């Protein structure tokens, strides 16, 4: 059983999965925040590799990615950071990136480096399952879980394909659009989750736009995991108080989703 699979093997446990951009606002903060997230009740950490054209990301994460790139953050440095974090935290680490950096690094070489750095899985929003065979083979060879995404507009055929190919869980996006903080969850979210549930028994984790404990509680009621990114990045912009605010926020979210066991 992979380390990601072990998260969902816990009976009645709802996974809390935060996202942070490596190198935002700097590498030192990344190295401090990840252990804080693990100690505050998170189950898996998404580590974003900054990219110049992050198609799935809204303004908040785009800005963080641009800032990190300006700081000289690249895939090689991200692998080094992941390797250091894998020694500090016991929970799984997943890279969130785009296909271009993986392709330029070399698919097999990147997967081998991920395994050596203690990375457990990959999420690549711009990689459709129809074109993922080479990466699927490489990730399996090196013991990585490749996680695919589904949108509310996904057809029954696409849901079946992703259910067949995604490993350990499926990432459901709340909207057809970009990441970012939103005032409310979409009205059709429950129906979307139910539609996917009819086709697969894979754990389902929901992300894009979740920013409050009440939204997290609503998601935990219908899904197996809650993914939060933009709100975490915003809290990290609060200067010297950011770590305290972030820790309090994560603990609040953890408490809210635990109520839905």
Which residue did the predictor score with more confidence, 147 or 176? 147
Q: Which residue has the higher pLDDT, 57 or 61?
A: 61
- pTM for the whole thing? 0.94
Question: 182-227: per-residue pLDDT in tens?
Answer: 567 878 999 999 999 999 999 999 998 899 999 999 999 999 999 9
- The residue-averaged pLDDT of 66-82 equals 95
Per-residue pLDDT for 122 more than 90? Answer: yes
pLDDT band for position 181 (50/70/90)?
very low
What is the predicted pLDDT for the residue at 59? 80
Residue spans of the domains in the chain: they are 3-9+13-258
Comparing 41 with 237, the larger pLDDT belongs to 41
pLDDT of residue 261: 67
Q: What is the mean pLDDT of residues 87-110?
A: 97
What local confidence, expressed as pLDDT, does residue 169 receive?
A: 98
Distance from C-alpha of 46 to C-alpha of 18, rounded to nearest angstrom: 6
The mean of the pLDDT values for the chain is 92
pLDDT of residue 120: 98
The whole-number average pLDDT for the span 56-71 is 84
pLDDT value of residue 56: 62
Catalytic residues: 46, 57
Position 180 scores a pLDDT of 42
Q: Which residues contact 64 (CB under 8 A, 6 or more apart)?
A: 21, 24, 48, 50, 233
Distances (CA, A) of 116 to 47, 85, 110, 113, 121: 16, 12, 10, 5, 12
Is pLDDT at 94 greater than 90 in this prediction? yes
pLDDT over 90 for what percent of the chain? Answer: 81
Specify the higher pLDDT residue, 59 or 85: 85
DSSP 8-47: HTSTTPPEEEEEEETTSS-HHHHHHHHHHHHHTT-S-EEE
Tens digit of pLDDT for each residue in 137-146? Answer: 999 999 999 9
> Given a cut of 90, is residue 239 above it in pLDDT?
no
The CATH classification number of 3-9+13-258 equals: 3.20.20.70
Distance CA 30, CA 76 (A): 15
Rounded mean pLDDT of 29-58? 90
82, two tokens: 């992941």
Partnered with residue 227 across adjacent β-strands are 17
Distance (Å, whole) CA 172 – CA 227:
9
């Amino acid at each position: 059983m992979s380390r990601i699979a072990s998260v969902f093997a816990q009976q009645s446990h709802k996974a809390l999965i935060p996202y942070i951009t490596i190198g935002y606002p700097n590498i030192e903060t990344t190295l401090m925040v990840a252990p804080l997230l693990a100690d505050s009740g998170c189950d898996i950490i998404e580590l974003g590799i900054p990219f110049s054209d992050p198609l799935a990301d809204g303004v908040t994460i785009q800005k963080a990615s641009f800032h990190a790139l300006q700081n000289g953050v690249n895939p090689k440095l991200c692998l080094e950071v992941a390797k250091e974090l894998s020694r500090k935290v016991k929970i799984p680490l997943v890279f969130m990136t785009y296909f271009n950096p993986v392709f330029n690094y070399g698919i097999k070489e990147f997967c081998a480096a991920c395994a050596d750095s203690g990375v457990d899985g990959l999420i690549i929003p711009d990689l459709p399952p129809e074109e993922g065979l080479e990466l699927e083979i490489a990730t399996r060879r090196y013991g990585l879980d490749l996680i695919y995404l589904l949108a509310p507009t996904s057809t029954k055929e696409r849901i079946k394909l992703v259910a067949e190919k995604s490993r350990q869980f499926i990432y459901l996006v709340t909207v057809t659009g970009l990441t970012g903080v939103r005032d409310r969850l979409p009205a059709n979210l429950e129906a979307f989750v139910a539609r996917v549930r009819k086709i697969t028994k894979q754990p389902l984790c929901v992300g894009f736009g979740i920013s409050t404990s009440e939204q997290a509680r609503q998601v935990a009621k219908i899904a197996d995991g809650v993914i939060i990114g933009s709100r975490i990045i915003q809290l990290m912009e609060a200067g010297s108080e950011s770590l305290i605010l972030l820790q309090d926020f994560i603990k609040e979210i953890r408490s809210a989703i635990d109520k839905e066991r």
